[in-house]
Amino acid sequence: MSSRFAAAVSTGLSRAADRVGRLASERGDGSNDDPADELSLEQLIARAGDIRTVMVTTVDERGTLSSRPLTVQRIADDGDLAFIVDRNAEWVTQAVEPINVAFVDGSRTWISVAGRMTLDDDRAALDELWDPMTDAFFPDGKNDGPIVLRVLSDRWEYWTAPNRAIQLIEVVRAKFGDGSTDLGDSGAVET
């Protein structure tokens, strides 16, 4: 393929990507967000707030990693997280301090929160976080061993991607153009 043809294809694809972004903006779906924009902790919390079920990874005393899905009860303004868990669950009793929480929204954002795990036995905290969904996991109510697990966040890390149409255009442009792609961005916020 000639370099002139490749340049024409690349230019055409760039224009198509811009048009898709403009059309998405007119629809108001946020698909044209500039992935190069750094996200603030407040923006990350807003994106994570729409995701109720996350994967929580803990480390036991032998250094073995294990993960499980949990429901987020609260995300504080400082980035700390709260969950209600069974205090008698093996993974809770064997877990040591480092913890990671992974948020995936199924489309364009992935968030990883690294921090330290603490258990909060305060009944008032449990009462404040308790909701009807929690009843399904603790049939005997608050007396069945639930405890508040807090993640004291140290770092929120994220990855974003443009909408699927732009992703496709970027892949084709890389194949037939200059070989580079712009498939998203990543960054981190220390808390």
At 62-111, the pLDDT tens digits run 999 999 999 999 999 999 999 999 999 999 988 888 999 999 987 678 99
Q: Which residue, among 13, 6, 114, has the nearest Cα to 57 in the 3D structure?
A: 114
Do 58 and 121 share a domain, yes or no?
Answer: yes
CATH number for the domain spanning 48: value is: 2.30.110.10
Q: Are residues 102 and 127 in the same domain?
A: yes
pLDDT band per the 50, 70, 90 thresholds, residue 148: very high
- Kindly state whether residues 19 and 100 are assigned to the same domain: no
Q: What is the mean pLDDT of residues 117-138?
A: 94
Tell me the C-alpha distance between 41 and 45, whole Å: 6
The reply to whether 124 and 174 lie within a common domain is no
CB 117 within 8 A of CB 56: no
pTM of this prediction?
A: 0.72
- For residue 75, count other CB atoms closer than 10 A to its CB: 21
Same domain, 139 and 113: yes
Beta carbons of 163 and 23 less than 8 angstroms apart? no
Mean pLDDT across 30-53: 78
The Cα–Cα gap between 146 and 92 comes to: 11
Name the pLDDT band for 161 (thresholds 50, 70, 90): confident
The confidence score (pLDDT) of residue 181 equals 62
> Are 23 and 56 members of one domain?
no
What pLDDT, on the 0 to 100 scale, is given for residue 96? 86
Q: How far, in Å, CA of 79 to CA of 42, rounded?
A: 8
Q: Is residue 73 part of a domain?
A: yes
State how far the alpha carbon of 37 is from the alpha carbons of 14, 33, 123, 161, 185, in Å: 19, 8, 41, 12, 8
Amino acid 15: pLDDT: 60
The per-residue pLDDT of the chain, averaged, comes to 81
pLDDT computed for residue 163 by the predictor: 60
15 and 109 belong to one structural domain: no
> Domain span at residue 132?
41-160
Would you say residue 59 has pLDDT above 50?
yes
d(CA 125, CA 129): 6
